[in-house]
Chains A and B, each alone.
Chain A
């Protein structure tokens, strides 16, 4: 199972051992340093950004009470529904030199080009900002789920031992939640590494744009897949970091007794600070861009909404739901395989498969096409021999291929979430369950599922929203006459018709909002002991 999922990634790396010295020399002499440095800064910047935006908000929302908290609790997930390339379009439309903001500024002051300093949106800093704004919910979501699942007793003990709020946060809650936080962080960073739309739009040369340029512009598959291998090196380091941080300390709950978390009421300036810490990311990552999209949609609404458009909505929702269920099942199988018997081969295969999240969608799509098309050709040979007829393509160019690609791309999301959930359950609990006569499946059903409900729902939601937003693989692998909202938004935007792209973009966001809200509620409720 894991091997099958790892297959596309291995297929692309089939080229790795093909030497491509001239191209490499060319790359080294010209652009390679750029790729490296930009990618490095991007990862560091986004890593810092998502923690800065996500962690305080998660803690405040789990442990404190302040004005508007009930709203922020779920609203802070909303930026997740916003595809990074779309937030990049909207902010560029507003902030670049010929955009509304700077034009107004020039009109008010009479300045011309070069008379004043204004940060350039289309830059590395801009890309870091955009990606942080839409990716911080990963950290927020997982950290908050972890804070909520923590046994309050631990916190209470630390308080009775004389720690104040801050100390118990840093010494107890944070270390306990660390696996979840690191998972959120590594998801955000993998998404960053795989991002193509934003960095390309901003003209930042990273590994991802470099892979494209080399594969297509220079027509050199070998060098391109070697670049991809380098990118994988980055990812591998990320994954190792995560493992290492987990292996140094294993935390399981000491007690399964839960009590309601007494929310700490904030007043005065602390309340103001808390509101700001939650409101800013929400405004910048969601409210403002949605406002701009609405503004664009209203401009062109007359011709946008028709039955064709409803078809797009339906296609998008159907794909996202199917993919989310698939990915969860696969993650459960792999997660369990690992828990029950630690087979190194399964481990390696599922590690490779989980890397898919950091690989650009286009690379995955090609990786999926290679084995599928090969299988098709073989099947055709067989059918020719036996029935003397050509069956055409049975696999490639079908929805099945597309779903398979989504699984390769997003398995990491569900797998990490499931593993983080499983990791928090003491193995002794399994043993107890087994000794009471439960089968392994029974343990899953009776013990783990109730305990992991929050994590599983998180996994489903993350994949659902990710698939809604996914573009490159969908673009390459989709069947005839089959479009999604993301495809439509991209087609219009890349034709430089930003205003027309507003409506499908808005629909992607809208379709993502409902599950986000539902989920946020169920996570709040999933805390054992709270009903």
Chain B
């Protein structure tokens, strides 16, 4: 009996890697529920089957690296530019020449050497409690290190890639020394040791634990549109402030979710087709509506809710910089005592 099971498993395992035509194999650090509906539409439109494994970004990169030239994966998707940069560093990707992608995706949201492409974007602004903070008291990320905010700021742990990327962007602009001083100051202003996720920062602010929270826009959007009454009530107590908007300043920190074709992709054409499909009007609209993310493609209107938050100037830094400074950012956070 046991031998039979083992044998059938072996046979099954040999039969699993599929390299037939009409397929594309995706390793995705984006959650299944955020991409699968679009994959289904893609299959409907092109009859190309999409095989999917989701997981944590770093773990997927590791798997890709170890599988080497025989990896079945054709496309890597992540929820952060820093990780795409890392994939390029690890020589796991290949450049893609696609007129569609070049035309539809703004230059700072894709790799200068065409190794990766941003598919959706999100901002990481400041959220303030409406009845405690006046928007005119707020100005820039840098200002959050000012002692006037002592004991008033909530932000999640430094383990989180969004925080690492945010600090990475500051290292790119202000240099490591200033970034360190900023992180030291910010940590002194924490209302509590970092805990929980992005939504939790907004909830804590609403509950009176802090006056300011740093969080990604789509979390706020999902809280407002979701089914959780408590989340909704919490989100309604805070408002968005877009930092660094002054004339000549760089703008609010943004990040992307994006994709790269693997170095040894067996289905490269299909992988490129899938990426192009994800930036077409319909897909970009779906992202905006279903997940409250900003479209990357010019001319696609964000959802009504995102429109309601107003226009803002986004940081035009090329997002490769986030990845370049990632390890440095982690060290700075360690030194600052940012848990």
A residues lining the B interface (CB < 8 Å): 26, 29-31, 92, 96-98, 100, 102-103, 112-113, 120, 122, 200-203, 205, 209, 212-213, 215-219, 299-300, 322, 325, 329, 362, 365-366, 369-370, 373, 376-377, 380, 390, 392-401, 403, 472, 475-483, 487, 491-492, 494-497, 499
- The distance in angstroms between the C-alpha atoms of A26 and B206, with both chains bound, is 37
- The distance in angstroms between the C-alpha atoms of A403 and B193, with both chains bound, is 39
- Beyond A300-B227, A403-B9, A476-B55, is A325–B2 a contact (Cβ under 8 Å)? yes
Measured between C-beta atoms, what is the minimum distance from A488 to chain B in Å? 8
Known pairs A203-B196, A393-B17 / 12 extra A-B pairs, C-beta < 8 Å? A29-B335, A218-B330, A218-B331, A300-B227, A380-B70, A399-B12, A472-B59, A475-B56, A480-B72, A483-B32, A487-B54, A496-B222
Q: For B202, give the chain A residue with the smallest CB separation.
A: A98
- Beyond A216-B58, A393-B17, A475-B59, is A369–B67 a contact (Cβ under 8 Å)? yes
Measured between C-beta atoms, what is the minimum distance from B212 to chain A in Å? 14
- B227 / chain A contacts, CB cutoff of 8 Å: 299-300, 499
Contact code string B307-334 (vs A, CB < 8 Å = 1, else 0): 0000000000000000000110011001
- The distance in angstroms between the C-alpha atoms of A111 and B285, with both chains bound, is 45
B126 lies within 8 A of chain A by Cβ = no
Beta-carbon contact of B195 and A203 below 8 Å: yes
A377 contact from B68, B207, B230, Cβ within 8 A:
B68
Q: For B79, give the chain A residue with the smallest CB separation.
A: A495
Beta-carbon contact of B9 and A400 below 8 Å: yes
- A403 / chain B contacts, CB cutoff of 8 Å: 9
- Beyond A213-B330, A300-B227, is A398–B5 a contact (Cβ under 8 Å)? no
- Beyond A362-B59, A369-B66, A479-B16, is A491–B71 a contact (Cβ under 8 Å)? no
- B164 / chain A contacts, CB cutoff of 8 Å: 217
Beta-carbon contact of B13 and A480 below 8 Å: no
B16 contact from A96, A219, A480, Cβ within 8 A:
A480
- A475 / chain B contacts, CB cutoff of 8 Å: 54-56, 59
- B19 / chain A contacts, CB cutoff of 8 Å: 392
Measured between C-beta atoms, what is the minimum distance from B224 to chain A in Å? 14
Shortest 4 CB-CB distances between A and B: which pairs? Answer: A398-B13, A98-B207, A480-B51, A216-B58
B63 contact from A112, A203, A476, A491, Cβ within 8 A:
A476
Q: For B208, give the chain A residue with the smallest CB separation.
A: A113
A97 contact from B194, B199, B209, Cβ within 8 A:
B209
B197 lies within 8 A of chain A by Cβ = yes
Measured between C-beta atoms, what is the minimum distance from B326 to chain A in Å? 7
B234 lies within 8 A of chain A by Cβ = yes
- The distance in angstroms between the C-alpha atoms of A493 and B10, with both chains bound, is 34
- B193 / chain A contacts, CB cutoff of 8 Å: 203
Measured between C-beta atoms, what is the minimum distance from B19 to chain A in Å? 6
Q: For B164, give the chain A residue with the smallest CB separation.
A: A217
Beta-carbon contact of A397 and B16 below 8 Å: yes
- The distance in angstroms between the C-alpha atoms of A81 and B25, with both chains bound, is 34
- B41 / chain A contacts, CB cutoff of 8 Å: none
- A477 / chain B contacts, CB cutoff of 8 Å: 63
Beta-carbon contact of B25 and A103 below 8 Å: no
DSSP class of B's interface residues: helix, strand, loop or mixed? Answer: helix
- B339 / chain A contacts, CB cutoff of 8 Å: 203, 205
- B55 / chain A contacts, CB cutoff of 8 Å: 475-476
Of residues 187 to 204 in B, which have CB atoms within 8 Å of A's CB atoms? 193-200, 203-204
B228 lies within 8 A of chain A by Cβ = yes
13 A-B residue pairs with CB within 8 Å: A219-B326, A366-B62, A393-B67, A394-B14, A397-B53, A400-B13, A476-B56, A476-B62, A476-B63, A480-B16, A491-B33, A494-B31, A499-B227
- Beyond A366-B62, A475-B56, is A218–B327 a contact (Cβ under 8 Å)? yes
Beta-carbon contact of B196 and A92 below 8 Å: yes
- The distance in angstroms between the C-alpha atoms of A205 and B337, with both chains bound, is 12
Beta-carbon contact of B16 and A376 below 8 Å: no
Beta-carbon contact of B334 and A122 below 8 Å: no
Measured between C-beta atoms, what is the minimum distance from A239 to chain B in Å? 28
- Beyond A97-B207, A403-B9, is A396–B195 a contact (Cβ under 8 Å)? no
- The distance in angstroms between the C-alpha atoms of A217 and B196, with both chains bound, is 19
- Beyond A31-B334, A392-B72, is A98–B234 a contact (Cβ under 8 Å)? yes
Measured between C-beta atoms, what is the minimum distance from A331 to chain B in Å? 14
- A200 / chain B contacts, CB cutoff of 8 Å: 159
- A205 / chain B contacts, CB cutoff of 8 Å: 339
- The distance in angstroms between the C-alpha atoms of A476 and B66, with both chains bound, is 12
- The distance in angstroms between the C-alpha atoms of A398 and B10, with both chains bound, is 9
Contact code string B128-166 (vs A, CB < 8 Å = 1, else 0): 000000000000000000000000000001010000100
B69 lies within 8 A of chain A by Cβ = yes
- B219 / chain A contacts, CB cutoff of 8 Å: 496
Beta-carbon contact of A369 and B68 below 8 Å: no
- Beyond A217-B159, A476-B59, is A98–B204 a contact (Cβ under 8 Å)? yes
- A122 / chain B contacts, CB cutoff of 8 Å: 195-196
Measured between C-beta atoms, what is the minimum distance from B141 to chain A in Å? 21
Beta-carbon contact of B33 and A397 below 8 Å: no
- Beyond A97-B207, A122-B195, A203-B193, is A478–B53 a contact (Cβ under 8 Å)? yes
- B195 / chain A contacts, CB cutoff of 8 Å: 120, 122, 202-203
Measured between C-beta atoms, what is the minimum distance from A501 to chain B in Å? 11
Measured between C-beta atoms, what is the minimum distance from A53 to chain B in Å? 26
Measured between C-beta atoms, what is the minimum distance from A364 to chain B in Å? 12
- The distance in angstroms between the C-alpha atoms of A213 and B338, with both chains bound, is 13
- B63 / chain A contacts, CB cutoff of 8 Å: 369, 396-397, 476-477
B172 lies within 8 A of chain A by Cβ = no
Measured between C-beta atoms, what is the minimum distance from A330 to chain B in Å? 11
Beta-carbon contact of B66 and A492 below 8 Å: no
- Beyond A366-B62, A380-B70, is A217–B330 a contact (Cβ under 8 Å)? yes
B331 contact from A26, A96, A380, Cβ within 8 A:
A26
- The distance in angstroms between the C-alpha atoms of A217 and B326, with both chains bound, is 7
